[in-house]
Amino acid sequence: MLFTQGTRKLLAAALGALSFTAFAQDIRIGFNADQSGTGAAELGVAARHGFDLAIEDINKAGGIGGRKLVGLIRDDTGQPPKSIQNMTELIDSEKVVAVIGPTNSGNALAWLHIPQQKKIPVIGPVATATDITRRYASEPQNYIFRVSMVDREQVSLLVAYAVKATKNQKIAFIADTTGFGQQGTKDLTEVLALHGQKPVAVEKFGPKDTDMTSQLAKIRDSGADTVIVYGLADANAQLLRSMEKINYLPTTLGTWGNMSTPLLNIAGKKLAEHIIFATSTAEDSNPRAIALAARVRERYPQMPTFVAAAQSYDSVMLLASAIRKAGSTDGEKVAAVLDSGVPDTQGVVKLYKAPFSKANHDALSVNDFHLARWKDGKVTTYVDAVSKSLTPADFKK
């Protein structure tokens, strides 16, 4: 087919317009997390708030290369089949360039192969299972990243504190009977051994149990003055109530799941203050956290766990920095930038300087964590003489 010079000019103009339209298309980012189905749903809700506000801030600043970010939200209800379905839909049908999520570690482990095969970067702002970022570590490109607490890293902090806090060198563990709790017990035992100690008692409880007095009586009789508990917030609230029943309130430590409001609602405000837990940030940790918490509470007065909002906000900011540097939304190019050195990015938790590398896809480590507790109905930073004395040399992994 022959075209006249005028036709060729019109065609070129049309193609140029088409090219500009393609460039100007929105950048679609998926969010897939439990927001309604399990005891961890509060974390997913909070993460969605952080996700939304980060996108809003990026778009207010002009987007990325003039392109607006659009978030596509999916609730997986805490169920692996639903989470798998959501990932498939987001990647294949919605054509997202990356995904933020999930809430539950089990869901992540069920679908990691999908973004890995499709070359779609994922940044996890909540799920803590150590293996999530390591499953594909030996692949030429690992597409799974995380800005969240990591189980083994939390244990490192909790045990370091326990070893210095105990007055009689008697530390005990109690954990739920789920895979989460039993893996936690394994990690606790191994890390405590690195400090040259063994637990004086190790007890279990069912995740739906409401009376743990018999297990706690055994721990009390072992002489333990410090107890580390590994369970979700609702069960841990029942544990605190059981401690109160037998008038045994040792130094009690736990993981970041204790920031969920079931602990507060079931145990009550005063008793909930007894447990000290690991976190990456709290509402009062720094000026950025204070500002984000105020924004979230303005829109969502019943804001759940703030730390998940902060980590999700930071996840989006790091993704945006990588896309800018890559000059592309191609998953392979974006993941390569995340690996090779995403530009310095100010987040809520911290200033991220090359947070990822080929060998490490976790942006946060025990050196970024600190202790917190409930105080007057809010999660606040916890500081005492023991926490002030902790140094990186105390963190054994």
- Asked if the structure places residue 107 within a domain, the reply is yes
In the numeric block, which tokens belong to residue 169? Answer: 């060198």
Co-location of 258 and 378 in the same domain: yes
Co-location of 129 and 140 in the same domain: yes
- Asked if the structure places residue 86 within a domain, the reply is yes
pLDDT tens, position by position, 150-185:
989 999 999 999 999 999 999 999 999 987 888 899
DSSP string, 271-332: HHTTEEEEES--TTSSHHHHHHHHHHHHH-TT---HHHHHHHHHHHHHHHHHHHHHTS--HH
Number of domains, the chain: 2
Q: What is the mean pLDDT of the chain?
A: 91
- Asked if the structure places residue 13 within a domain, the reply is no
Co-location of 86 and 161 in the same domain: no
Co-location of 180 and 275 in the same domain: yes
Stretches in the chain below the pLDDT threshold 50 = 1-23
Task: Give the model's pLDDT for residue 130.
Answer: 86
Co-location of 229 and 264 in the same domain: yes
Co-location of 59 and 80 in the same domain: yes
In whole angstroms, what is the distance from residue 33 CA to residue 39 CA?
Answer: 13
Task: Give the model's pLDDT for residue 24.
Answer: 53
- Asked if the structure places residue 11 within a domain, the reply is no
Task: Give the model's pLDDT for residue 298.
Answer: 86
Co-location of 141 and 273 in the same domain: no
Co-location of 32 and 100 in the same domain: yes
pLDDT tens, position by position, 198-227:
999 999 999 899 999 999 999 999 999 999
Q: Which domain holds residue 329?
A: 23-149+285-364
- Asked if the structure places residue 31 within a domain, the reply is yes
Task: Give the model's pLDDT for residue 301.
Answer: 81
pTM of the prediction?
0.83
In whole angstroms, what is the distance from residue 78 CA to residue 207 CA?
Answer: 16
Q: What is the CATH number of the domain that holds 223?
A: 3.40.50.2300
- Asked if the structure places residue 6 within a domain, the reply is no
In the numeric block, which tokens belong to residue 84? Answer: 């798998």
In whole angstroms, what is the distance from residue 103 CA to residue 360 CA?
Answer: 21
